[in-house]
Amino acid sequence: MAVVHRTTMTPGKLELLASWLPTQSWYQGPGPGSAPRPARVGGFRLDDPQGEVGIEFMAVSDGAGDRPVTYHVPLTYRGAPLDGAENALIGTSEHGVLGRRWIYDGTHDPVLVERLYALVRGEAEPQAQSESDTPDPSVTGWSAGTGRPGPVTILGVSDGPETTDVLVRTPGGKLTLGVRRVLRAAPARDDSGGQQPLGHVTAEWTLPDGTKARGRYAVVRA
């Protein structure tokens, strides 16, 4: 089980995201000259079986525009740079216990993508975002039963206006993991393009009025 350390990160994750979010195609905040005001409003973690990579799925609310928007930012934390992922680096931070950490957009990280697919198949247990060794039963994965366990290889990553599509090769063939970037409470249209999804991950986040919303963080498509 991953350990959540009660310590500092300098700069903090939200500080890094304030600079990174406006550079993304799916960011819906105000134009140049208006800085984002990100706040963490939900999410969960997954364990890396090798114990090397921190995996977090963070819901971040930004109130910089006319209306608050909640974004989904999958993050990985590594003790060394990830080869070939320079374009996915959000930044580096000094962790009070672990030292320097390289923080990546997790849609480009093979460890996060494999664990996300395992969660869809019911083979990974979601963990609380801020507590060690604490499962989070509010996070659910569902699969139509077509997936097969085994290695997952990233073939390509493409950003859309509200979703990042991760094309992967699995033991059962090619699939697309549609990672929702702009979170919307259910019922809402999903990212299946009118097709019945083969699986999805559903979780909660907190709205500006303090109530809970629930919707899809990711969808699997053929």
Contacts of 163-167 spanning 24+ positions with Cβ under 8 A:
163/26, 163/191, 164/26, 164/107, 166/107, 166/113
Q: Which residues lie across from 201 on neighbouring strands?
A: 141, 218
Residue type at position 198: L
Which backbone phi and psi does 14 adopt, to 5 degrees?
Answer: -70, -30
Q: Please say whether the beta carbons of 46 and 127 come within 8 A.
A: yes
> How many residues belong to the chain?
222
**Structural domain boundaries in the chain:** 9-221
Cβ(193)–Cβ(184) under 8 Å?
A: no
Query: Mind listing the pLDDT tens digit for each residue in 90-100?
Result: 999 998 777 79
C-alpha of 85 from chain center: 16
At 186 the pLDDT is 80
97/184 Cα distance (integer angstroms): 35
Cα dihedral: 104, 110, 116, 118 (round 10) = -160
Summarize pLDDT for 117-156 with one digit per residue, the tens.
Answer: 999 999 999 999 988 889 999 999 999 875 677 889 999 9
* Coil, strand or helix at 112: helix
Report the predicted TM-score, pTM, of the whole model to 2 decimal places. Answer: 0.92
Residues of the chain with pLDDT under 50: 188, 190, 192
Query: What's the confidence (pLDDT) of residue 155?
Result: 98
Measured between alpha carbons, how far is 72 from 181 in angstroms, rounded to an integer? 5
